[in-house]
Structure 1
Amino acid sequence: MNEYDLIEAFKEGDEFAFVSLYNRFKSPVFAFSYKMLMDRDQAEDVMQETFLRVYENRDRLMKTSAFKSWVFTIARNQCLNHIRKAGRQVAMSQDALENLASSETPLSKMDKSEQVAFVTAFLHELKPEYREVLILREYQNLNYEEIAAVTRSSLSSVKSRLFKARRKLSERIQEAEARRIRRIEAGRCV
């Protein structure tokens, strides 16, 4: 059964369709949740809570074509609830880091542990609304329209947040490179 038919069957109460949709979307929802929370147990909880809400609210799904955005919106809200409850900022995994570090940036000159520490510190500085659009775009490969639907933001807001998050990352990379160069030069002068 294709995804469209599964969603339609799920909306009509078909349990098999729900299980099939769960199996298709559980990994992307877990990955998104993990990148937002950087805690496997919490990400697992969010994934379960997300699909419980999907199941309980299937009658609210109006457009079959919006299922993916709807699921990620629920997951996003659950993540934000966990962040608020925990009162903490979250870090980025090493896998996620590789997506941001191109071979042309000073970040790529750092060893992996330096990169993880750098991006973790950077993400601690980001507001959740910047972090989430960066994760949805870079790690979940959602397009701007899907991100706008998930975050309930305008397309221009999504683009602006991504631009600002990437600009802040670029500024931090340049600062880190300048510090690295100063350390190297200071070492030569000794």
Structure 2
Amino acid sequence: MEQHHWVEQVRSGDQFAFRQFYEAYANGAIRIASAITRNRELAKDAVQETFIRVFRQIDSYNPTLPFDPWFYRILTNECLRLINKETSLVKVEPSNLDDNPALVEKSFDQLSDLYDIIQSLDDLHRIPLILKYIKGFSEKEIADILQLNQNTLKSRLFKARKHLKMLLDPHGEEDVT
């Protein structure tokens, strides 16, 4: 079902269309929310709240714009809201990756060290990396999702990649840029 078609059906109150939308987006949303929150249960709460907000706010969606950035902005904001609400977060341990491979994309299942390193980054750098390299959003879309200036986002991605490179190869040669 094409996005603009089911968006209109959801707007008209069609519960079957909303169920189709949920089934199309739920698994990907859980993976991204898990990566952002570092907590599977918190991620589930964020996804549940996201779908409620999408249902309530579907009339504010502009169908001339891509849907995914709008949806993932709501999801990201909900994840950040719940993170701020929590007093302590449980970090995903590497052993949990083997027990629950749905937490992250397949490439992270195979590279748990890389996953751990990304999870060790601060939110300012970790979340843009997740949105770009796991979800595949463009820099402009990520800037819109995170409500940042595109140059600020580029700077954060650059610093995050530089930090990742240093963590992955601590004895490597320093870049002179």
Query: Could you tell me the TM-score, scaled by structure 1's length?
Result: 0.73
Letter in 1 for 2:8: E
1:14 deviation in Å? 2.3
From 142, 145, 153, the counterpart of 1:150: 145
| Aligned residue number for residue 85 of structure 1 | 85
CA separation of 1:8/1:161 partners in 2, compared to 1, >3 Å: closer, same or farther?
same
- For residues 70-112 of structure 1, give each alpha carbon's deviation from its aligned partner in whole angstroms, at most 9, with x where no partner exists: 111111011111221224565587555946x9xxxxxxxxxx6
CA separation of 1:13/1:64 partners in 2, compared to 1, >3 Å: closer, same or farther?
farther
Give, in whole Å, the separation in 1 of the partners of 2:67 and 2:10.
11
Q: Sequence identity, in percent?
A: 28
Give, in whole Å, the separation in 1 of the partners of 2:5 and 2:137.
22
Q: Does 1:138 align with 2:133?
A: yes
| Aligned residue number for residue 40 of structure 1 | 40
The 8 Å contact of residues 4 and 63 in structure 2, kept in 1 or not, is answered as: no
| Aligned residue number for residue 8 of structure 2 | 8
CA separation of 1:169/1:97 partners in 2, compared to 1, >3 Å: closer, same or farther?
farther
Q: Does 1:159 align with 2:161?
A: no
Query: Could you tell me the TM-score, scaled by structure 2's length?
Result: 0.78
The 8 Å contact of residues 91 and 121 in structure 1, kept in 2 or not, is answered as: no
SS where residue 65 of structure 1 aligns? Answer: coil
- For residues 135-164 of structure 1, give each alpha carbon's deviation from its aligned partner in whole angstroms, at most 9, with x where no partner exists: 001111112122112111122222211111
Give, in whole Å, the separation in 2 of the partners of 1:9 and 1:148.
29
Letter in 1 for 2:23: N
- Segments of 5+ residues of structure 2 without an aligned counterpart are 98-103, 173-177
Bigger Rg, which one: 1
| Aligned residue number for residue 65 of structure 1 | 65
* More displaced 10-residue stretch of structure 1: 157-166 or 10-19: 10-19
RMSD: 2.7
- Segments of 5+ residues of structure 1 without an aligned counterpart are 102-111, 179-190
| Aligned residue number for residue 108 of structure 1 | none
Give, in whole Å, the separation in 2 of the partners of 1:27 and 1:134.
19
From 122, 127, 132, the counterpart of 2:122: 127
SS where residue 137 of structure 2 aligns? Answer: coil
CA separation of 1:148/1:92 partners in 2, compared to 1, >3 Å: closer, same or farther?
farther
Give, in whole Å, the separation in 2 of the partners of 1:98 and 1:140.
12
| Aligned residue number for residue 100 of structure 2 | none
Letter in 1 for 2:119: L
1:20 deviation in Å? 1.3
